[in-house]
């Protein structure tokens, strides 16, 4: 025959968060091993003591959790204490929440269950958010500084500047404005990918036609040679043409930006025997390549593998858009050096797979 108290203790000890349970008399009846460690106590020291003495948690003003929240008092409809940030005796942050149990609304509190969760995870998220804000602020400030400087110069020296100088300044302002627009669009894409709100409108499309337009467009703006090779018997792909164009354009522009020679784009039908039919789009550059140990980090936010600018969001968005289509993206070595990025696009709609 099992011992209910032993089973309850074993269950509490197996939980990742700390648990403290007190009965109707406000006396602690159970403390998990995680909670005891957090509080700097042992089960022997805690069980049988008043809950207010066991939960030695303070806020920045020196107030105690038990005195502030008074779990045994208040309205009869009160069922919980929301998660709050408190400090352990050793000064570490802990996130504390409580559940208040009553047999009925007209009955007193029968049990209070308090959970304690380490605040390190939240601290890490706060640091990541701070890093995100700092990075975005830096990326926005650079083109804004250029726009403001040239506009100020135009306003102050309009009569002294000739037409060529004015045209050069306005062209630079236009380019910086485009850069700001692209960054804002990338940030919106990141937010949609992160929150699962990315909207796709896939339909049958000719990959050769789309990629040919991309190669022509990128080639018109660079002296770097961009070559296109098309294999035989390409099936139609089912993609959102705008998102497909965004992905491939990003990869080709990356090849131009980070490579030192010809950028080669190749289209091939997916090999026979693969899980699903579709088209492989391969982009090779002749740069330094991406070391194997860094390839898992390539698709994270704000990863930058070179010194030639960029927001560091491009490959994160590439990964998100390809995966959203049910496709695959892989980093490899290009023949003769450089980086190879292969994206695989399905012939049929695989978003539900």
How much of the chain, in percent, has pLDDT values that exceed 90? Answer: 42
The mean pLDDT value for 211-236 works out to 92
Beta-carbon count within 10 A of 37 CB: 13
Is the per-residue pLDDT at 81 higher than 70? yes
Tell me the C-alpha distance between 36 and 46, whole Å.
8
Tell me the C-alpha distance between 111 and 103, whole Å.
9
Predicted confidence at residue 115, as pLDDT, reads: 94
pLDDT tens column, 58-77: 887 888 999 999 999 888 88
pLDDT tens column, 95-106: 999 999 999 988
Is the per-residue pLDDT at 276 higher than 70? yes
Kindly list the domain boundaries of the chain, sorted by start residue.
4-118, 123-195, 203-346
pLDDT tens column, 144-198: 888 888 899 899 989 888 999 999 999 889 888 887 887 888 888 888 887 778 8
The band of 353, judged by pLDDT with boundaries at 50, 70 and 90, is: very low
Tell me the C-alpha distance between 286 and 261, whole Å.
5
Predicted confidence at residue 306, as pLDDT, reads: 54
Predicted confidence at residue 237, as pLDDT, reads: 95
Q: Which CATH architecture has domain 203-346?
A: 2-Layer Sandwich (3.30)
**32 backbone φψ class: left, alpha, beta (φ>0; ψ -120 to 50):** beta
Determine the topology of domain 123-195 in CATH. Answer: Helix Hairpins (1.10.287)
Is the per-residue pLDDT at 125 higher than 80? no
Higher pLDDT, 146 or 209: 209
Predicted confidence at residue 121, as pLDDT, reads: 63
Predicted confidence at residue 259, as pLDDT, reads: 75
Predicted confidence at residue 30, as pLDDT, reads: 93
Determine the topology of domain 4-118 in CATH. Answer: Beta-Lactamase (3.30.450)
The band of 343, judged by pLDDT with boundaries at 50, 70 and 90, is: very high
Q: DSSP class of residue 286?
A: -
Higher pLDDT, 49 or 178: 49
Predicted confidence at residue 23, as pLDDT, reads: 95
pTM of the model: 0.60
Tell me the C-alpha distance between 59 and 70, whole Å.
15
**309 backbone φψ class: left, alpha, beta (φ>0; ψ -120 to 50):** left
């Amino acid at each position: 025959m099992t011992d209910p108290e032993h089973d309850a203790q074993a269950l509490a000890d197996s939980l990742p968060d700390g648990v403290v349970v007190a009965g109707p008399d406000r006396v602690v009846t159970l403390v998990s091993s995680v909670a005891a460690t957090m509080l700097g106590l042992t089960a022997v020291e805690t069980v049988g003591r008043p809950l207010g003495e066991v939960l030695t948690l303070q806020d920045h003003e020196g107030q105690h959790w038990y005195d502030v929240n008074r779990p045994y008092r208040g309205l009869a409809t009160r069922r919980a204490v929301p998660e709050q940030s408190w400090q352990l005796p050793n000064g570490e942050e802990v996130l504390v929440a409580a559940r208040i149990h009553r047999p009925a609304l007209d009955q007193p509190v029968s049990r209070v269950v308090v959970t304690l969760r380490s605040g390190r995870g939240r601290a890490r998220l706060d640091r990541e958010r701070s890093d995100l804000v700092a990075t975005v602020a830096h990326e926005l400030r650079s083109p804004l500084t250029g726009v403001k400087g040239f506009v100020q110069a135009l306003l102050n020296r309009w009569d002294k500047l000739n037409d060529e100088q004015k045209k050069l300044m306005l062209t630079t302002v236009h380019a910086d404005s485009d850069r700001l627009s692209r960054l804002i669009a990338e940030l919106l894409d990141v937010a949609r990918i992160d929150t699962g709100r990315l909207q796709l409108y896939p339909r049958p499309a000719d990959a050769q036609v789309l990629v040919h337009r991309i190669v022509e467009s990128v080639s018109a703006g660079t002296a770097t040679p961009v070559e296109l090779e098309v294999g035989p018997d390409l099936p139609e792909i089912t993609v959102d043409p705008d998102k497909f164009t965004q992905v491939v354009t990003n990869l080709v522009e990356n090849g131009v930006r980070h490579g030192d020679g010809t950028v080669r784009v190749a289209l091939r039908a997916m090999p026979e025997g693969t899980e699903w039919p579709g088209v492989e789009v391969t982009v090779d550059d002749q740069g330094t390549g991406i070391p194997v140990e860094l390839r898992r980090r390539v698709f994270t936010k704000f990863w930058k593998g070179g010194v030639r600018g960029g927001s560091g969001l491009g490959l994160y968005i590439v990964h998100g858009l390809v995966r959203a289509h049910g496709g695959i993206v892989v980093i490899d070595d290009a023949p003769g050096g450089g980086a190879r990025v292969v994206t695989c696009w399905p012939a049929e709609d695989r978003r539900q797979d």
